[in-house]
Structure 1
Amino acid sequence: MSELILHHYPMSPFSHKIRAIMGFKQLAWKSVIVPGFMPKPDVEALTGGYRRTPYLQIGADIYCDTALICDVLEHHQPMPTLYPEHLKGLSRVVAQWADDRMFWAAMSYNFQPSGLNVLFANADRSLAEAFVNDRKGMGFPLMHAPEAAVNYRSDLRRIASMLDENPFLLGDQPCIADFAVYHPLWFTRIATPNLASIFDATPQVLTWMDRISTLGLGRMEKMAMQDALSVAAHTEPAALPEHEVFLDDHGIELGSKVAIAAESFGVEPTVGKLIAATRTRYTLARVDARVGNIHVHFPRVGYVMKAL
């Protein structure tokens, strides 16, 4: 079972990062829409507690965090590559900066009251309140709007300077850095257009965004959550590669019961049996009453593992 099933929702910035990469690689994928905030019982059946969006399902294997999902998609279809050989280190460093510090500046700017008013203009007030309260509960590290604007403008100037001589951030072709930088800017432009004047001083950034957008979103087909759960229930997790080496940084043996959670923002843990701890990822084996045997995968960077 190699079918790519992306669990996401339309206005999720990190989901759009992956949707854009699907377009870059011209991948076929199934789209399962998940709730934007708790409760998420169907999500928890697959992830065991992890609640960030998106996550990627391949059969009975669940891949959490877009950093890991990008690596999985690269392995699934190596070309065109997200990680050009001569830019492997630099592209990942820029992507990590964009997914962390720059993302929070951008989203703090987007989520100021005037942005939220536009975002939820056609929604019931209780829905907007539920969303805001949910994000507060997750530990959303909001800056005050003035500081967010200062930081966001500074980041946009830096991005613009990277585009002075190249059509994409690090050269003639897009790489992981482009998609990591792109998605919070896409949210400003699409979800809170009343705040998009922040791009006025950096028109080359808008031109670059248009280049990314022309790559499309791949070949998407809708799938119901119940069908995705059925796929997991009728599939066994993929065998782990025999060559993967156990890297013990915690003094926790394979087979131990552990909890893995994000370091910050959305720290709900997933509990399971540790069956892999490689240089780049952890894998937990879980059994769920609804879907049976599941393997849940996390990147090492940005996650904390504890023995139970």
Structure 2
Amino acid sequence: MMPLVAAAIAPHGFPIIPVLSDDAEGALETRKQMQLMGSTFKEVGVEAVIISGPHGIRVDGSFAVVDAARVAGTLRWNGNFAEVNAPCDRPLIDALVRVATEDGLPVSRVSYAGNRVDQAVAPLDWGVMTPMWFLGHDQNESGSGDVLALAPEPNGAPGVVLVTPSRSLPLAAMVEFGRAIGRVLGDDARNVGFIASCDWAHTHREDGPYGFHESAARVDRAVVDALRRNEPGVLVELDQHDIETAAIDGLWQTLMLAGIQEIVPLTIDVLSYEAPAYYGMIVATAMPDGR
């Protein structure tokens, strides 16, 4: 099993997108490392990528997989706009749903707009749109972020499969789903990748929307330490109270990466950690051993 050529943990604090903010709202190092991550995926020739994020369409008690021909979305920040319109990878969607279902995992196909799958276009959220931007979906053509926009011309950026986990499922299910992803990617003949879209503690500052909690720094430190030890799976043991008070949103997706790592040995390299606003952001690559 080898066609998995690259994986990553990527933040989705969208002011890191260059056209939205010149200074990335203080996260210039995060932006720099996201650009490096994108270059790495391009260098190894990623043709399709599964992205798991926390902010997409959710189905209680199920893994929601976008089942559409394309995805489109627009982000706005301080008068600036970023627009993305990108193809979904239909064969990879079908393979993932099939394998996960065979494994007994609850999976729901979700769609939007056209009732024929070849005409369906699902709306993008910032949790997946941000990493997609750094994977080459950065043409930013005016109007392209509307689900009714015309399909874009192929530009060499990878097709996407978007997954949103349900937090009502046990954490162990995230690892199991990751194993399914690992087998699906390992069986694909193309160069394929995976991104866990994650922000971490959201309670670093009193003036943030979730207020301040002392657990924020402690939880982020524990996550960075686990990743540096190449042991994302130990995060399943994070204290539930700390998970809630730190208000992290990356645990579920990172445990999927841990499951993938059980199928395809990966070496994690933490490129950066920053928390210039109220939330923490980690950029880390996870490359197959031997590459």
TM class by shorter chain equals under 0.3
Higher helix share: 1
Q: TM-score, normalised by structure 2?
A: 0.26
Structure with higher strand content? 2
Does 1 or 2 have the higher relative contact order (CA < 8 Å, sep 6+)? 2
TM-score (norm 1): 0.25
User: Which has the greater radius of gyration?
Assistant: 1
